[in-house]
Structure 1
Amino acid sequence: MKYLLIIWACLCTLFNLQAAEYSVVPKPLSVKETGKPAFVFTPRTVVYVTPASRQIGELWIQSVSRSLPFQLQLKEVSSVKGKNGIVFDLSKKNRSSEAYTLDVSDKRIVVRSEGLAGLFYGAQTLTQLMPPEVVGKEKLEGDITVPSLQINDKPRFQWRGYMKDVSRTFYSVDVLKKYIDIMSLYKMNTLHLHLTDDQGWRVEIKKYPRLTSEKATHYPVQFGQPEGRSGFYTQEELKDLVAYAAARHVQIVPEIDVPGHCWPVLINYPELAVNDSFYPDYVMPFCETYHVWGHQFTPNTLDPSNEKVYQFLDDVFTEIAAIFPSEYIHFGGDEVRHILWEKNEHIQNFMKEKGMKNVMELQSYFVTRVSAIIAGKGKKPIGWNDILADAGNLPENAHIMSWLGSSAVKDAAKYGFPTIATPASHLYFDIRQGTPDDGLLSDLAYPYAITLSDVYGYDPAEGLTSRELDCLLGVQANMWPAVPQEVKDINLQNFPRLLGLAEIAWADGKKDFADFENRMNTQYKRLDALKVDYYRPDCHVIATWSPEKVSFIDYTTWEFDVTDKVYDNGRAMAGLFYTKGNDRLNIKSMQLLENGKVIAEDLHRGFADETRTTGKRKNYLYYLDVKNYRKDAKYTLRMEVSGYRGTDSYGNVIFSLSPYVPFQSVESDKTGRK
């Protein structure tokens, strides 16, 4: 019996070693070990391509070449049969296929597919079989090997998406390209760009130049937003981005959100509005809207009874269709303030003329008109599942993005509408991952956390009939950067959860979270090499406070060593997150010192209490710039605080630096991964 236990322990150890060795995300459909020696990269390694597969080979070499200690040779041949080295073999039987095989022996690595997309995905698996640092910039040392095995793989869903809202916070083309790189590495194929909302219009429309005027695209200075959070994309920039994504087999789906969420349109083209409410006549950060309108929603919408609106949308979608070759255009349709229609006399008269009994029918009328416009451009219309409120009157060509409600996916599918699952319960990544006291910026309007386990455990097909399953196109995660805005902050929210999304979008649906966590250990090293920050519990917490540290009436100076948290030029965020006790804290000021000398200070008065809702001004947060970082310097955070009504107060002191240049450095560069 003892010997059997020893053998079993050895087998378990061997299995764990193998699992770590093949740490591919998403998990391939089938992996078979051959028992042969590993393939070893050498300066003589040749990458063989045909004219049809050349682009895939070139992109793959480009993705790993910065870290290899030698240059891989690329050779184009008419046939790759019998070649030793790395072979990209494209069959022309099914050019749209995403399936692939990967065969590794000591002599050759053959990536084979019937489609360019499949060949590209096979190349990404090859990259993940190499040391995780291969995607970085630092040169690798020692042998670079790939284990001998055979992989047969294909995706579960055709839509494997991520939505980035670039209206609430604008991001540069370079940031979007980096996200495309990461998405494609993990076999995600759809980038949904939320290009317009109440916080800004972000795409150039040549027929309507005022859409990209300053008041439609830039936050006024009184809101203290960094300049980089405002702006718009020219059509040429977007065409370049589309080409970059297409080479990596990512489609970009544009969204122009109508008839609500249209503030930039209404303040520039008031003749399209349903009423005469236009204050203020500029865009403002999302959280500020609560202090102007009392909530996040504007006091105006497009006028669904106005023919000028449909001409405007026809013109806009004509230009959008010319920029984006995707077969889809998203028109939004969510969170329309129907009360504005119900209280409007000319809208009520219009509804009577059309025989409409309620505003839901008017919404469907609008959706039908817009869907026809989009279909007229050769595209498929997509709307948020809010439009299902009057499902019986929706056009048959409507596609549904299901975000709202536990039964949203089934509700869309039971009517026969093609649907993408993107539920706020599992796939809204602006929602927190841990406690609301950990200092990570998240939308606390949602009273729950979404952990990596929650994401991984989600199955969009659960509870669907076979007919309804045929309507399920796939899954998508969404990032609404109203609260987390810095690139580092959205990265901390997106990762590692985006890899969980990639797994459920591609893999076969069989769940084993322990196995996934084991594979993630290698992926964390890969994210480090890519200079991508990712969530770690309490990673912003540098200290805690308790009553013995608090003084009542008189201000006390607190100092904390933050040397390990300062690692580049950037904007540091410091703050006090009250957690419990009868008394809150007054905050007088915060300073950042370099070798004892003040280099930045924020002198506004703040208050640390338990209220951290989305609409609350976050005066407990302080911002300090590091403009000339010195690697050998000591950095200290200094603040002045006092108890409010007493000293019975507990909480977390938080600090996080966001580099000015995204994806150039990460905190683990200085501290290692903890």
Structure 2
Amino acid sequence: MNAVIPRPAERSAAVEAGSLPAAGPWRIRAGERLAPVADAVRALLAPHLGERLLPGDAPTGPATEIVLSLDPAGVPPGRTVGVAPDGGAEPADEAYRLTVGPRHVICRARTSEGVFRAATTAAQLILTAPPDGLICHQELYDEPRFAWRGLLIDPARCFVTADEVRRIIDVAALYKFNVLHLHLTDNEGWRLEIPSVPALTSPPPAAQQDGPGERRYYTTEEYRDLQVYAARRHITVVPEIDLPGHCAALRTALPELPPAPAPPGLVGRFPFVPPLDLTDADTHAAVSAVLADVCALTDGPFVHIGADEAVGITDESFAAGVRELRDLTRKSGKRPVAWQESSRAGAGPDDIAQFWVDVPMMDLPDTAEELAERPRLVAAGMTVEFIRALKKFFAPSDHDVERIIDGGGRLLLSPQSHLYLDRGYAPDGTSTDQAATTARLGFPGYRPRSVRHTASWDPASYGIPEEQLAGVEATLFAHTLRGMDDLTTLLLPRIGSLAEAAWSGRAPEWDEYRTRIARHARMWSERGLVHFAAPEVPWT
């Protein structure tokens, strides 16, 4: 049985019986037009195959070949829905056909993107080979359901170095994600150098340093290099500058900026960082400079402007701020993406809103007795009064999706219930040797869930018109993370089922899926990545 994730849509029976050894040695063969794809595939395989991956196309002895081929006539066109991350009027055709024969694995597609997706399937066939080390002769056909298949990471709260981001990009590419959403700013830190506003990163605030001389933000050169690295793997980087709330790091650098108008009776009742007032001239000038620089530094067509959880701002000021953030982004030549709350400033056909929450999804207790049964909430200082205020604040979220659809906008699906990977693992599903780590990880406001729960997510369950779907994006916010190992512990193995849902448009069948994901642990270990050994999975 193949352990490929996402599972290919079709497998032809008309293939001569036989198999080839996964051990290799392997050689990648491609024409000049596909040389960049060949280089990217070679880089993905190198950590695993070592000397078994022969250099370039040099004929240095017998080898099994991965053949990359553009074949417009031999592969049916794909039928993808959603927004193209590369900004194209139509999504790239990523459909592919893969054939395993006696001495080769042939990867055919109509586009270089499709060839690369086929090659990642070939890589998984090799790297997750069964214990007998043989790959059966076969022919596979596959195509994605969603054009936008994203993964968000949060260096604002837990900084990961540029090299660590590259490691995440490689994993995302192996699972056919094509967007890396970088949450670069928040209350905890500002992680991108802004030439027009050097105070944001220079000198670095204490929160942006591990110690003397240890920088915790990306220089403009590092950011550009990350985008090039991702693009070679057909991944688009989408930066997020989270405004007008979540702005404590910006306020630390620019303390003179005034607060936005607050609703009556809120100030002093609950702690919050005052959001920005985009009608203030100095604030507008600073934000304009930030967004202009971010847009100029960004190769891709999208910039995320945040617009979530702006606690302590009037509805009128919030709506005006969101409209101005959109306008500034568009004037700089980029298309804005924002969280679902942005719909309260209006939503038109060119708007993309990221759906993440409604009050029922928050799954919060209503009474003191129910709260007492949620020790993580109690330990986090939650009270019944605070939870009631929280539900009141989030009440408008119950109608955000309706506003977006009625306005003709597009929805990017990131529901907190399943796609927020900062949710802790269920305690009764935690292996003993990882219990201490997993007990520490996970946002305390979310009920811990099993790996199977994440794998049960069905993107078709929302009844959203196909033409108004932008795609799917998993998020991994870093409220409780201390470094790269924590990040990958929450990401792996859950990345597999989400990759499958984003690619195929449906949840995997659990009993069959769990046997496939079990064979991926060796691949993660060979890349030096820590994963959660979920007891529900029969790890091999």
TM bracket, shorter-chain basis: 0.7 to 0.9
Shift of 1:102: 0.4
Shift of 1:238: 0.6
- After superposition, the Cα gap between the structure-2 partners of 1:455 and 1:84, relative to the gap in structure 1 and judged at 3 Å, is closer
- For 1:514 and 1:177, locate their aligned partners in 2 and report how far apart those are by CA, in whole Å: 32
Shift of 1:61: 2.6
Q: Retained in 2: the 8 A contact 1:413–1:472? A: no
Q: Retained in 2: the 8 A contact 1:266–1:273? A: no
Is the partner of 1:470 in helix, strand or coil?
helix
The residue identity in structure 1 corresponding to 2:121 is T
Q: Retained in 2: the 8 A contact 1:61–1:72? A: no
Return 5+ residue gaps in structure 2 as ranges. 78-90, 263-267, 362-397
Paired position in structure 1 for 2:356: 403
Once the two structures are superposed, the pairs formed by residues 474-623 of structure 1 within 5 Å of their partners are 474-509=471-506, 511-536=508-533
Shift of 1:276: 12
Shift of 1:461: 2.5
Shift of 1:424: 1.2
Once the two structures are superposed, the pairs formed by residues 50-69 of structure 1 within 5 Å of their partners are 50-66=31-47, 67=49, 69=51
Shift of 1:217: 5.9
Could you list the per-position Cα deviations for residues 468-525 of structure 1 after superposition, in whole angstroms to 9, with x for gaps in the alignment?
2211121111112121222212211111111111111002426411111111111122
- For 1:208 and 1:335, locate their aligned partners in 2 and report how far apart those are by CA, in whole Å: 25
- For 1:472 and 1:517, locate their aligned partners in 2 and report how far apart those are by CA, in whole Å: 28
The residue identity in structure 1 corresponding to 2:54 is L
- After superposition, the Cα gap between the structure-2 partners of 1:532 and 1:72, relative to the gap in structure 1 and judged at 3 Å, is same
Q: Retained in 1: the 8 A contact 2:148–2:472? A: yes
- After superposition, the Cα gap between the structure-2 partners of 1:73 and 1:128, relative to the gap in structure 1 and judged at 3 Å, is same
Q: Which moved more, 1:188-197 or 1:61-70?
A: 61-70
- For 1:514 and 1:75, locate their aligned partners in 2 and report how far apart those are by CA, in whole Å: 41
- After superposition, the Cα gap between the structure-2 partners of 1:517 and 1:272, relative to the gap in structure 1 and judged at 3 Å, is same
Paired position in structure 1 for 2:455: 456
Q: Retained in 1: the 8 A contact 2:69–2:106? A: yes
- For 2:524 and 2:258, locate their aligned partners in 1 and report how far apart those are by CA, in whole Å: 46
Q: Which moved more, 1:27-36 or 1:91-100?
A: 91-100
| Structure 1 residue 31 corresponds to structure 2 residue 30 | no
Could you list the per-position Cα deviations for residues 337-388 of structure 1 after superposition, in whole angstroms to 9, with x for gaps in the alignment?
23xx4xxxxxxxxxxxxxxxxx323322111111111111221111111223
- After superposition, the Cα gap between the structure-2 partners of 1:226 and 1:457, relative to the gap in structure 1 and judged at 3 Å, is farther
- For 2:523 and 2:68, locate their aligned partners in 1 and report how far apart those are by CA, in whole Å: 24
Q: Retained in 2: the 8 A contact 1:259–1:302? A: yes
Paired position in structure 2 for 1:310: 284
Could you list the per-position Cα deviations for residues 294-338 of structure 1 after superposition, in whole angstroms to 9, with x for gaps in the alignment?
97732x221222133333222212211122112111111111123
| Structure 1 residue 203 corresponds to structure 2 residue 192 | yes
| Structure with the greater alpha carbon radius of gyration | 1
The residue identity in structure 1 corresponding to 2:520 is Q
Could you list the per-position Cα deviations for residues 147-180 of structure 1 after superposition, in whole angstroms to 9, with x for gaps in the alignment?
2111111111111111111111111001100000
TM-score of the superposed pair, with normalisation by structure 1: 0.64
- After superposition, the Cα gap between the structure-2 partners of 1:427 and 1:236, relative to the gap in structure 1 and judged at 3 Å, is same
- For 1:305 and 1:474, locate their aligned partners in 2 and report how far apart those are by CA, in whole Å: 33
Q: Which of the pair is proportionally richer in strand?
A: 1
| Structure 1 residue 267 corresponds to structure 2 residue 252 | yes
Return 5+ residue gaps in structure 1 as ranges. 1-17, 78-82, 135-141, 278-292, 342-358, 540-671
- For 1:383 and 1:513, locate their aligned partners in 2 and report how far apart those are by CA, in whole Å: 33
The residue identity in structure 2 corresponding to 1:535 is F
Paired position in structure 2 for 1:573: none
Paired position in structure 2 for 1:472: 469
Q: Which moved more, 1:323-332 or 1:307-316?
A: 307-316
Is the partner of 2:44 in helix, strand or coil?
helix
Q: Retained in 1: the 8 A contact 2:347–2:408? A: no
| Structure 1 residue 75 corresponds to structure 2 residue 57 | yes
TM-score of the superposed pair, with normalisation by structure 2: 0.78
Shift of 1:76: 9.2
Shift of 1:535: 1.5
Count matched residues.
467
Which residue of 245, 248, 261 corresponds with 2:230? 245
Higher RCO, Cα 8 Å, sep 6+: 2
Paired position in structure 2 for 1:362: 317
Shift of 1:266: 1.8
- For 1:84 and 1:430, locate their aligned partners in 2 and report how far apart those are by CA, in whole Å: 41
Q: Which of the pair is proportionally richer in helix?
A: 2
- For 1:200 and 1:381, locate their aligned partners in 2 and report how far apart those are by CA, in whole Å: 22
- After superposition, the Cα gap between the structure-2 partners of 1:124 and 1:227, relative to the gap in structure 1 and judged at 3 Å, is farther
- After superposition, the Cα gap between the structure-2 partners of 1:434 and 1:296, relative to the gap in structure 1 and judged at 3 Å, is farther
Paired position in structure 2 for 1:418: 410
- For 2:443 and 2:498, locate their aligned partners in 1 and report how far apart those are by CA, in whole Å: 22
- For 2:521 and 2:530, locate their aligned partners in 1 and report how far apart those are by CA, in whole Å: 9
- After superposition, the Cα gap between the structure-2 partners of 1:42 and 1:513, relative to the gap in structure 1 and judged at 3 Å, is closer
- After superposition, the Cα gap between the structure-2 partners of 1:418 and 1:447, relative to the gap in structure 1 and judged at 3 Å, is closer
- After superposition, the Cα gap between the structure-2 partners of 1:43 and 1:186, relative to the gap in structure 1 and judged at 3 Å, is closer
Q: Retained in 1: the 8 A contact 2:184–2:239? A: yes
- After superposition, the Cα gap between the structure-2 partners of 1:361 and 1:229, relative to the gap in structure 1 and judged at 3 Å, is farther
Q: Which runs of 4+ in 1 moved over 4 A?
A: 40-46, 91-95, 142-145, 225-230, 293-296, 406-411
Is the partner of 2:427 in helix, strand or coil?
coil
Paired position in structure 1 for 2:118: 122
- For 2:213 and 2:129, locate their aligned partners in 1 and report how far apart those are by CA, in whole Å: 30
Is the partner of 1:109 in helix, strand or coil?
strand
Is the partner of 2:462 in helix, strand or coil?
coil
Q: Percent identity?
A: 25
- For 1:231 and 1:188, locate their aligned partners in 2 and report how far apart those are by CA, in whole Å: 26
CA RMSD of aligned residues (A): 3.3
Q: Retained in 1: the 8 A contact 2:26–2:52? A: no
Paired position in structure 2 for 1:329: 303
| Structure 1 residue 155 corresponds to structure 2 residue 144 | yes
Once the two structures are superposed, the pairs formed by residues 187-202 of structure 1 within 5 Å of their partners are 187-202=176-191
Q: Retained in 2: the 8 A contact 1:386–1:404? A: no
